[in-house]
């Protein structure tokens, strides 16, 4: 047995163990990327470094064997710094978007590429779940949204953008007019209640997501019917009221209560609401500064002052969103606000730090070059955009929707929620900008496998796939090609990815620490 | 194998590729995965590149997998995957060549051959240009090699002449096909080779040839006279070489018509006399690679009384290079006569392994490869390691640009290196071993191979050495072009037939080395020290050197120094003594600025610190390292930022690409250095370099990465003002092309030579008028300045619009 000090604690471990083994045994977590149990160590990524005080060196814990008397620090500032610098360097050569430009431009942050892939493979039930994760009233928005996402769509560099809004509407309509429209699984009742002022898109959306968390919501509005500007500002021919009614119906099924024809400040005071409810949402739509004076929150001529991230107002427990905090009348933004408020209020009610929706680390390619469009197009149908045969107001039929969805270029990373690089970049506040790079490697995509896609720019050269294919005696497998900065993982003799990964595709995708190897459909 | 491809209506039949060479290679090197590099080398020797079909065939015939062959063949820079032009032009980018303008030579070649952007071969597919790290002829810098022919002391203006000269020779079928291949000669006949390179012709070789022919007719000797291309010693022309079946070729320099007759008569007289002449001459000419000490034909031995030669040799002390200049490298009897194998015999027949290791420890000998680990301690570790199988390995992967010590030792003293290895193997208990030698050193490979065979024959290698019962089998592993293979774990990977990537230590090779067995790895020079120590005793060795660094060290002294060459000096000598007393100071009256020691892992010692003593600790304290022994002298016309960029370009290209810090970090450092040299530097770039340098130093896996920032950090430390000047748009040394401006002053006599020579038409032809350079067109190739007879072309050390 060997003895060492790990973060100030004495530990014994059997001979031959690595520092990582010792840390694991002691319940200390050390991040790794290139390491995989059962495979020989490679020691390339260097995010597992720890400080060894006897030698004064930073050493890779995945490989370094424990020696008697070592004094190891796994969490000091120096160690964090070293890990961050390794991540900064890896990110500085990372060519890939975590999220697609369409999603990044969507004010409600809907997962558009995922929805599109679900439509393309006919999984409409999954598609509505994807939509409703961020947009509570998609059938309404599918008719009125000016679709900023489509302006972000990269396909427009090739011909014209994908008809994202119509696709969303197509899925929403199928669901809304089905026998049992989608009802989200709601959390167990928390016994907490929230008052929402305003039954417009922001209020409705906040209610939807609060209800999902198990909170009881009551919406107060001075109008006859819910919908706010959707009902009283949008012409009927653009948004048939029946569509709005049906989506409000879904909300009612979630147990949301509507107190219509109740004017806050007249029929019921803000103070009363604050007394009766655990939290308060202010989403009354556009209001002038004077009419807001009685609302007891800090305001300017632009509306209620909030923390842009958490939507908290100057008063604890009072949140605001929609047109009352933001000039402009974009319904999709109001819908996004509603969800953000719900997240913050949920934190507030659970008495945990109110962070709002956490912004994730985003890797971005930025401007793409002409030849890269071809790479992006490798999985896409090259045909021109599809016009709905029944005219734009009629929307897509199934066949049209599927065809249109196949035009998507899949700009997003298909492992964005299962990427060690992204997670660690967040944890160590690493940044691709730290090293101020001029120019980058070109984006490439290999699609010559039935189910796997390989995007070399996201590869960190950890060699896990190389080791996995070698161990499994793949006929071709994957291998490192070239040397130094230009090293890349390739298939011997330029064979197809299918030939390279005959038996190990699933394992390679699973173990790839980034989105370099991913399933085409996820 | 015929491949057909259909493209529309056309049928292309690709060239039929005859793959029997693959079968031959496999039969010769075996089917094991470790045979991959020699097999690939054999295939490339045949096709001049590696056709895919051949590689697939290798996989069919052997245990080598497609993944392995792809990984290995794309890792080493020797291997090509695309067909090449008829001839290869290797442009040396060693340190000495770099400071003497290798970049300008490369550009001039590309222009002259009209090679398209991003390609390496001219449209007619005659010439392929490749950059090489170092050809090891640092004293002839700048140098290019076209197939087997070397052209030295080039200028952008004379590049065209070299090409034309080569083509003229080619038409006469006298060009050896590829580097290292000897031209065929009929068996049994002696051959007199006469240089007909342009310099030799200019030196009067035509007349010499006539004289040779008539003399041979007179005495009726059975001799072939063969004109050969330039041998690279262009300042010693004309050259005559006598090549016979046995023995080394004898080279005569500066031969005139009178001497030609003498030479013929000497060589075709009875034996005894000839032998002496041959060995003395060949060694004198081959081993002292200094311009000054190559002596004309009428002098057979170096005269130590001659003043410059005296100071050149006076401060030196030869251990590894003992008997330098007077011994035939492959004459084993001569080596034995000069006390060769005494140490070997003494050790294997009489001494206990313990006492040998003990002597080594007491001698204080430290590894000469760079890091300076005590050799005796290393041997002790391997000796004490458990297991019946142990290996001995010689690290001859000398890759530092500007360093050729190991090459010289292997070429000139193969027996001494091997003797050292035998003693080491005996001491540690190894019975098998390898010498890993770069393929770029064909002569070293050839001689070591021969020396091994001779030693086996004489009982100094193989079974039962000197009747002691101890046996040792040594093999050669030919490197394939990877600087990183100099790192010991990477070297072992290369011998095992893998990509030469270092791994984390511990375990050290002493306990877990080649094929997982305890392995002793020492550098060429380290082994070459061993016989002397064992023969002359520890006392004699420790009497030289300093407290912590004992004995001598071999350096290759090059750059802006009057007398460059290979030197062996006692530890403790100062840098200034080397530069000024041995090297004769800087040339051309220019100011001595700094010495770069240790190549891409080392740093610069500024003139102000030139009294630093040459020992491991003192050099390290000055921000340098001992390194393997490259020493490049820089003068006031050398830009330190450019030197830093030069080394970073090298390490970045040679990084194996495994660990994050080295793979990406060196690239980022290089990008910053490039933009500084390009005049696009940003405020904060110097600090960025320092930060990145520290990061890479702390985070890299192996020595290459850990030391890669040294040239940058040491130049920032000593020459920060030069970096700052670059950020302001000035290059004080006048080197960085984006930061200098050419202009013509009133001394112009209107001769039009500059206008005629300008490759980009940046100077309008105006006879008898003052000429003017158009700055937008000027590429700062320096040609105009070199051709100007009145010294009217001047360089302002700042970019346009910035005050110099």
Q: What is the DSSP string of B277-338?
A: HHHHHHHHHHH---TTTPPPTT--S--TTSHHHHHHHHT---STTTTTTSS-TT-HHHHHHT
What is the pLDDT at residue B273? 35
Nearest CB to A483: which of B66, B504, B657? B657
Tokens of A400: 């049209």
The confidence score (pLDDT) of residue A139 equals: 97
**Spatial distance between the Cα atoms of A128 and A376, rounded to a whole number of angstroms:** 26
CATH number at residue B157: 3.40.30.10
Distance CA A216, CA A207 (A): 9
**Tokens 């009178």 sit at which residue?**
B258
Helix axes A77-92, B685-699, angle to 10 degrees: 110
* Residue A398, preceding peptide bond in cis (omega within 30° of 0): no
pLDDT, one tens digit per residue, over B88-99 is 999 988 888 888
Question: In B, which residues are within 8 Å of A488 by CB distance?
Answer: none
- Is the sign of the CA dihedral B153, B157, B158, B162 positive or negative? positive
Residues B407, B495: one domain? Answer: yes
Q: Which CATH class is domain A2-75?
A: alpha beta
Q: Nearest CA to CA, how far is B750 from chain A (Å)?
A: 44
Across the interface, whether the CB atoms of B666 and A485 are under 8 A apart is answered: yes
Tell if the CB–CB gap between B692 and A482 is shorter than 8 Å. Answer: no
Quick one: which of B403, B417, B340 has its CA closest to B598? B403
CB contact under 8 A, A435 and B668: yes
Q: What is the ipTM of this complex?
A: 0.92
pLDDT digits over A20-65, tens only? 999 999 999 999 999 999 999 999 999 999 999 999 999 999 999 9
Enumerate the residues of chain A whose CB falls inside 8 A of the CB of residue B699: 46, 49, 58, 82, 85-86
Q: Do residues B71 and B92 both lie within one domain?
A: no
Q: Measure Cα distances from A47 to A24, A421, A425, A426, B701 in Å.
A: 16, 10, 11, 13, 12
Distance, CA of A320 to CA of A324 (rounded, Å): 7
Ramachandran assignment for B759, one of left (phi > 0), alpha (psi -120 to 50 degrees), beta (any other)? alpha
- Which of A242, A193, A228 has its CA nearest to residue A213? A193
Predicted confidence (pLDDT) at residue B349 exceeds the cutoff of 80: yes
Q: Which residue has the higher pLDDT, B564 or A507?
A: A507
Residue B229 and residue B153 share a domain = no
Residue B291 is predicted with a pLDDT of 31
Q: Which SS3 state, helix, strand or coil, does residue B153 take?
A: coil
- Cα gap B3→B19, rounded to integer Å: 13
Express each pLDDT in B240-291 by its tens digit. 777 665 555 566 666 777 777 777 776 665 333 333 333 333 333 333 332 3
Region at A73 (left for phi over 0; alpha for psi -120 to 50; beta for the rest): beta
Q: Which residues of A touch B69 (CB under 8 A)?
A: 492
Residues 175-234 of A with CB under 8 A from B: none
A469 vs A467: CA distance, rounded Å: 6
Q: How confident is the model at residue B316 (pLDDT cuts 50, 70, 90)?
A: confident
pLDDT at B624 (0 to 100): 87
Count CB-CB contacts under 10 A for residue B729. 17
B383 belongs to a structural domain? yes
Give the mean model confidence (pLDDT) for residues A376-388.
Answer: 93
pLDDT band for position B310 (50/70/90)? very low
pLDDT digits (tens, 9 = 90+) for A108-158: 999 999 999 999 999 999 999 999 999 999 999 999 999 999 999 999 999
A82 CA: distance to closest CA in chain B (Å): 7
CA distance B11 to A252: 71
Kindly report the nearest CA distance between residue A493 and chain B, in angstroms.
7
A482–B698 C-beta distance less than 8 A = no
The whole-number pLDDT of residue B226 equals 65
Q: Are residues B565 and B703 in the same domain?
A: yes
State whether B45 and B11 are in the same domain: yes
* C-alpha closest to that of B135 among B479, B485, B401, B406: B401
For the stretch B669-681, pLDDT in tens is 999 999 999 999 9
Beta carbons of A65 and B68 less than 8 Å apart: no
Residue B702 and residue B721 in one domain: yes
The residue in chain B having the minimum alpha-carbon distance to the alpha carbon of residue A470 is B67
A490 vs A439: which has the higher pLDDT: A490
pLDDT at res. B149? 76
Q: How many CB pairs under 8 A join A and B?
A: 129
Last residue of a domain, one of B171, B201, B222: B171
Q: How far is CA A85 from CA A92, A428, A429, A512, B697, in A?
A: 10, 9, 10, 21, 12
Q: Which residues pair with B795 in a beta bridge?
A: B742
Contact B663 A485 (CB under 8 A): yes
Taking contacts as CB-CB distances below 8 angstroms, the residues of chain A near B77 are 483
Look at residue B232 and tell me whether its pLDDT is greater than 90. no
Nearest-by-Cβ selection for A85 from B77, B666, B695? B695
Name the residue with tokens 């001049």.
Answer: B48
Q: Does domain A193-349 have CATH number 3.60.110.10?
A: no
Nearest residue to B499 (alpha-carbon basis) of A512, A479, A516: A479
Instruction: Name the β-bridge partners of B793.
Output: B744
Q: What is the mean pLDDT of residues B516-528?
A: 97
Strands A279-282 and A193-197 turn out to be: parallel
DSSP state of A154: G
- Interface touch B659/A44, C-beta < 8 Å: yes
Does B354 share its domain with B472?
Answer: yes
Residues B471 and B524 both lie in one domain: yes
A89 touches chain B (CB under 8 A): yes
Lowest mean pLDDT among B32-41, B71-80, B140-149, B237-246: B237-246
- Flag the least confident range among A194-203, A302-311, B97-106, B205-214: B205-214
Nearest to A458 by CA among A411, A522, A408: A411
pLDDT at A287: 78
pLDDT at B54: 97
Residue B324 lies in a domain: no
User: Is residue B227 a contact partner of residue B165, using CB atoms and an 8 Å limit?
Assistant: no
State the DSSP code for B117: T
Q: Which residues of B touch A493 (CB under 8 A)?
A: 52, 55-56, 66, 70
Kindly tell me if the per-residue pLDDT of B404 is higher than 70.
yes
Flag whether pLDDT at B201 surpasses 50. Answer: no
Q: In this structure, are residues B195 and B205 in contact, taking their beta carbons and an 8 Å threshold?
A: yes
Residue A90 touches chain B, beta carbons under 8 Å: yes
* Alpha-carbon gap, residue A170 to A183, rounded angstroms: 18
Q: What is the 3-state secondary structure (H, E, C) of A184-217?
A: CCCCCCCCCEEEEECCCHHHHHHHHHHHHCCCEE
B58 neighbourhood in chain A, CB within 8 Å: none
Torsion of CA B639, B641, B647, B650, to 10 degrees: -110
Q: Judge contact between B472 and B433, C-beta under 8 A.
A: yes
- Give the mean model confidence (pLDDT) for residues A211-232: 96
> Is there a contact between B692 and A437 if contact means CB atoms under 8 Å apart?
no
Q: Which residue of B has its CA nearest to A463?
A: B658
Task: Determine, yes or no, domain membership for B293.
Answer: yes
Judge contact between A469 and A478, C-beta under 8 A: yes
Q: What is the DSSP letter of B560?
A: S
Confidence at B617, pLDDT banded by 50, 70, 90: very high
Mean pLDDT of B399-417: 86
Chain B positions with Cβ closer than 8 Å to A: 52, 55-56, 65-71, 74-75, 77, 482, 499, 503-504, 506-507, 652-661, 663-668, 671, 675, 688, 692, 695, 698-699, 701
Domain assignment present for B40: yes
Q: Does A16 touch chain B (CB under 8 A)?
A: no
Give the model's pLDDT for residue B292. Answer: 29
CA B314/CA B647 separation, integer angstroms: 32
Closest Cβ opposite residue A60 in set B504, B653, B655: B504
Task: Give the whole-angstrom CA distance, residue B335 versus residue B420.
Answer: 14
Asked if residue B753 and residue B718 are part of one domain, the reply reads no
CA atoms of B341 and B415, how far apart (whole Å): 8
pLDDT at B143: 85
Domain that holds residue B204: 190-302
Q: Across-strand partners of B5?
A: B12
| A438–chain B Cβ distance below 8 A for any pair | yes
Average confidence (pLDDT) over A363-381: 93
Q: Which residue has the higher pLDDT, B155 or A205?
A: A205
Residues 452-491 (A) with a CB less than 8 A from some CB of B:
460-461, 466, 469-470, 474-487, 490
Nearest to B663 among A484, A490, A492 (CB): A484
Sequence-separated (6 or more) residues with CB below 8 Å from residue A65: A16, A17, A18, A19, B506, B507
Which residue has better confidence, B319 or A503?
A: A503
Q: Which of A67, A173, A182, A169 is nearest to A110 (CA)?
A: A169
Chain A residue with CA closest to B482: the answer is A483
Mean pLDDT, residues B391-416: 89
Mean pLDDT of all residues in B688-703: 95
Say which range, A282-296, B58-72, B678-692, has the weakest mean pLDDT. A282-296
Query: How high is the pLDDT of residue B627?
Result: 84
| Residue in B439, B449, B432 with CA at minimum distance from that of residue B398 | B439
Residue B84 falls in which region: left (phi positive, over 0), alpha (psi -120 to 50) or beta: beta
Cα–Cα distance, B134 to B90 (Å, whole number): 10
Provide the token pair at B69.
Answer: 């062959």
Whether the pLDDT of residue B236 is over 70: the answer is no
The token pair at A93 is 């050569």
Interface touch A484/B75, C-beta < 8 Å: no
- The yes-or-no verdict on residue B181 having pLDDT over 80 is no
Do residues B603 and B597 lie in contact, with contact meaning Cβ atoms separated by under 8 Å? yes
Residue B438 has pLDDT above 60, yes or no: yes
* Chain B residue with the nearest C-alpha to that of A480: B71
Average pLDDT, chain A: 95
For A316-342, how does the pLDDT look when each residue is reduced to its tens digit (9 = 90+)? 999 999 999 987 789 999 999 999 999
Same domain? B473 vs B405: yes
Contact B63, B31 (CB under 8 A): yes
Q: Is the pLDDT of residue B137 over 80?
A: no
Instruction: Provide the sign of the torsion angle of the four alpha carbons B713, B718, B720, B725, taken in this order.
Output: negative
Instruction: Establish if B176 belongs to a structural domain.
Output: no
Q: Go through A40-69 and write b for each residue having 16 or more CB atoms within 10 A of its CB, e for each that does not.
A: ebbbbbbbbbbbbeeeeebbbbbbbbbeee
Of A319-323, A408-412, B143-147, B269-273, the range with the lowest mean pLDDT is B269-273
As given in the structure block, the two tokens for residue B244 are 């016979």
Mean pLDDT across B374-398: 96
Domain A101-180+369-405 - what CATH class?
mainly alpha
How much is the pTM? Answer: 0.87
**CB-CB neighbors (< 8 A) of A470 in chain B:** 65, 67
Mutate to test the interface with B, among A70, A482, A492 (most CBs of B within 10 A): A492
A103 has pLDDT over 90: yes
B325 inside domain: no
Domain with CATH 3.30.70.20 in chain A: 433-519
Contacts of B497 in chain A (CB under 8 A): none
Confidence class for position B211, pLDDT limits 50, 70, 90: confident
- Whether pLDDT at B81 is above 50: yes
Residues B454 and B371 in one domain: yes
For B248, which DSSP code? -
**How many domains does chain B fold into?**
6
Give percent of chain A above pLDDT 90: 90
Indicate whether B719 and B642 sit together in one domain: yes
Residue B723 contacts residue B679 (beta carbons within 8 Å): no
**Interface check A432 vs B, CB under 8 A:** no
State the fold for domain A433-519: Alpha-Beta Plaits (3.30.70)
Cβ contact B711:B596 at 8 Å: yes
Query: What is the Rg, in whole angstroms, of the alpha carbon atoms belonging to chain A?
Result: 27
């Amino acid at each position: 047995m060997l003895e060492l000090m790990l973060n100030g604690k004495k530990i014994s471990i059997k001979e031959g163990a690595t520092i990582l083994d010792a840390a694991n045994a002691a319940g200390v977590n050390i991040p790794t990327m290139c390491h995989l149990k059962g495979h020989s160590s490679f020691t390339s990524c260097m995010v597992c470094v720890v400080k060894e005080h006897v030698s004064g060196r930073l050493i890779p814990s995945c490989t370094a064997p424990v020696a008697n008397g070592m004094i190891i620090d796994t969490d000091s500032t120096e160690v964090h710094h070293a890990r961050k610098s390794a991540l900064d360097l890896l990110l500085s050569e990372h060519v890939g978007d975590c999220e697609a430009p369409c999603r990044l431009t969507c004010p409600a942050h809907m997962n558009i590429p995922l929805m599109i892939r679900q439509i393309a493979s006919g999984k409409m039930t999954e598609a509505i779940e994807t939509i409703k994760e961020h947009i509570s009233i998609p059938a309404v928005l599918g008719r009125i949204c000016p679709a900023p996402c489509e302006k972000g769509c990269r396909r427009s560099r090739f011909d014209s953008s994908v008809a994202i809004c119509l696709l969303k509407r197509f899925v929403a309509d199928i669901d809304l007019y089905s026998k049992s429209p989608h009802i989200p699984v709601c959390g167990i009742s928390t016994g907490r209640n929230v008052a929402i002022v305003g039954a417009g898109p922001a209020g409705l959306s906040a209610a939807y997501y609060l209800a999902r968390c198990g909170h009881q919501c009551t919406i107060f509005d001075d109008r006859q019917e819910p919908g706010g500007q959707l009902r009283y500002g949008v012409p009927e021919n653009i948004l048939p009221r029946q569509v709005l009614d049906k989506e409000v119906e879904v909300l009612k099924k979630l147990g949301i209560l509507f107190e219509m024809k109740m004017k806050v400040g007249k029929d019921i005071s803000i103070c009363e609401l604050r007394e009766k409810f655990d939290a308060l949402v202010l989403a009354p739509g556009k209001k002038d500064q004077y009419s807001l004076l009685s609302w007891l929150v800090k305001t300017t001529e632009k509306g209620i002052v909030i923390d842009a991230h958490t939507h908290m107002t100057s008063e604890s427990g009072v949140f605001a969103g929609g047109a009352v905090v933001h000039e402009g009348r974009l319904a999709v933004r109001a819908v996004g606000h509603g969800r953000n408020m719900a997240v913050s209020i949920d934190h507030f009610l659970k008495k945990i730090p109110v962070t709002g929706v956490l912004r994730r680390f985003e890797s971005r390619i930025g401007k793409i070059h002409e030849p890269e469009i071809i790479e992006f197009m490798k999985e896409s149908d090259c045909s021109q955009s599809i016009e709905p045969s029944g005219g734009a107001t009629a929307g897509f039929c199934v066949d049209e929707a599927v065809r249109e969805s196949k035009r998507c270029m899949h700009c997003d990373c298909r492992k964005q929620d299962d990427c060690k690089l992204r997670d660690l970049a967040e944890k160590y506040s690493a940044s691709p900008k730290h090293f101020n790079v001029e120019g980058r490697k070109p984006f490439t995509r290999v699609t010559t496998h039935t189910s796997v896609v390989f995007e070399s720019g996201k590869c960190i050269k950890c060699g896990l796939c190389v080791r996995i294919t070698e161990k499994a005696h793949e006929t071709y497998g994957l291998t490192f090609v070239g040397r130094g900065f230009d090293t890349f993982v390739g298939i011997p003799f330029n064979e197809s990815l299918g030939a390279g990964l005959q038996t190990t595709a699933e394992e390679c995708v699973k173990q790839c620490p980034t989105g370099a190897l991913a399933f085409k459909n996820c | 194998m015929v491949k057909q491809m259909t493209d529309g209506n056309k049928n292309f039949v690709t060239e039929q590729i005859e793959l029997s060479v693959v079968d031959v290679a496999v039969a010769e090197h075996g089917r094991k995965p470790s045979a991959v590099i020699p097999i690939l080398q054999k295939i490339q020797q045949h096709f001049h590149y590696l056709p895919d079909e051949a590689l697939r065939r290798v996989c069919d015939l052997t245990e080598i997998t497609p993944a392995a062959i792809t990984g290995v063949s794309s890792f080493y820079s020797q291997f090509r995957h695309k067909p090449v032009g008829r001839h290869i032009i290797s442009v040396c980018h060693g340190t000495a060549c770099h400071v003497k303008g290798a970049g300008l030579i490369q550009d001039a070649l590309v222009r002259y051959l009209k090679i398209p952007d991003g390609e390496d071969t001219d449209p007619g597919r005659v010439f392929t240009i490749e950059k090489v790290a170092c050809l090891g002829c640092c004293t002839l810098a700048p140098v290019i090699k076209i197939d087997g022919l070397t052209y030295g002391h080039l200028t952008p203006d004379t590049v065209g002449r070299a090409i034309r000269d080569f083509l003229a020779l080619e038409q006469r079928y006298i060009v050896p096909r590829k580097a290292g291949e000897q031209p065929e000669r009929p068996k049994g006949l002696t051959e007199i080779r006469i240089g007909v390179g342009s310099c030799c012709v200019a030196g009067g070789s035509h007349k010499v040839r006539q004289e040779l022919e008539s003399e041979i007719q007179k005495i009726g000797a059975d001799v072939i006279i063969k004109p050969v291309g330039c041998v690279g010693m262009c300042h010693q022309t004309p050259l005559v070489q006598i090549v016979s079946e046995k023995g080394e070729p004898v080279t005569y320099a500066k031969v005139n018509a009178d001497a030609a007759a003498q030479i013929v008569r000497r060589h075709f007289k009875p034996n005894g006399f000839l032998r002496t002449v041959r060995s003395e001459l060949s060694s004198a000419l081959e081993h002292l690679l200094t311009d000054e000490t190559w002596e004309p034909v009428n002098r057979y031995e170096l005269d130590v009384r001659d003043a410059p030669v005296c100071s050149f040799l006076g401060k030196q002390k030869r251990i590894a290079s003992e008997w330098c200049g007077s011994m035939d490298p492959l004459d084993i009897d001569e080596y034995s006569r000069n006390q060769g194998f005494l140490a070997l015999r003494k050790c294997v027949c009489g001494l206990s392994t313990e006492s040998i290791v003990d002597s080594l420890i007491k001698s204080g000998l430290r590894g000469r490869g760079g890091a300076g680990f005590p050799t005796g301690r290393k041997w002790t570790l391997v000796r004490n390691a458990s297991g019946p199988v142990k290996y001995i390995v010689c690290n001859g992967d000398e890759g530092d640009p500007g360093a050729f010590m190991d090459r010289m030792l292997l070429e000139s003293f193969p027996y001494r290196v091997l003797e050292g290895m035998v003693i080491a193997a005996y001491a540690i208990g190894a019975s098998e071993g390898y010498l890993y030698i770069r393929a770029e050193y064909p002569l070293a490979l050839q001689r070591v191979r021969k020396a091994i065979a001779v030693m086996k024959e004489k009982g100094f290698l193989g079974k039962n050495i000197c009747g002691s019962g101890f046996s040792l089998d040594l093999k050669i592993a030919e490197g394939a072009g990877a600087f990183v293979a100099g790192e010991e774990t990477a070297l072992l990977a290369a011998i095992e037939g893998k990509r030469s990537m270092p791994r984390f230590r511990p375990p050290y090779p002493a306990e877990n080395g080649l094929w997982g067995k305890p392995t002793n790895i020492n550098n060429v020079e380290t082994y070459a020290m061993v016989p002397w120590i064992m023969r002359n005793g520890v006392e004699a060795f420790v009497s030289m050197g300093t407290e912590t660094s004992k004995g001598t060290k071999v350096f290759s002294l090059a750059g802006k120094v009057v007398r460059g060459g290979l030197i062996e000096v006692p530890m403790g000598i100062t840098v200034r003594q080397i530069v000024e007393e041995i090297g004769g100071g800087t040339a051309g009256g220019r100011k001595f600025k700094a010495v770069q020691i240790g190549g891409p892992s080392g740093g610069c010692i500024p003139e102000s610190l030139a009294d630093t003593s040459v020992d491991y600790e003192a050099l390290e304290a000055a921000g340098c390292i001992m390194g393997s022994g490259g020493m490049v002298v820089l003068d006031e016309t050398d830009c330190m930022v450019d030197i830093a960029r030069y080394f970073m370009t090298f390490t970045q290209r040679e990084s194996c690409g495994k660990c994050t810090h080295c793979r990406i970090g060196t690239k980022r450092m290089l990008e910053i250095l490039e933009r500084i040299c390009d005049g696009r530097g940003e405020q904060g770039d110097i600090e960025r370099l320092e930060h990145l340098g520290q990061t890479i130093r702390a985070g890299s896996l192996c020595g290459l990465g850990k030391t890669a920032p040294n040239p940058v950090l040491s130049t920032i430390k000593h020459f920060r003002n030069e970096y700052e000047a670059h950020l302001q748009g000035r290059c004080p040394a006048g080197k960085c092309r984006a930061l200098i401006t050419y202009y013509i002053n009133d001394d112009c006599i209107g001769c039009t030579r500059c206008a005629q020579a300008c490759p980009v038409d940046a100077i309008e032809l105006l006879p008898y008028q003052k000429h003017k350079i158009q700055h937008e067109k000027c590429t700062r190739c320096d040609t105009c300045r070199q051709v100007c007879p009145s010294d009217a072309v001047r360089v302002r050390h700042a970019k346009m619009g910035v005050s110099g």
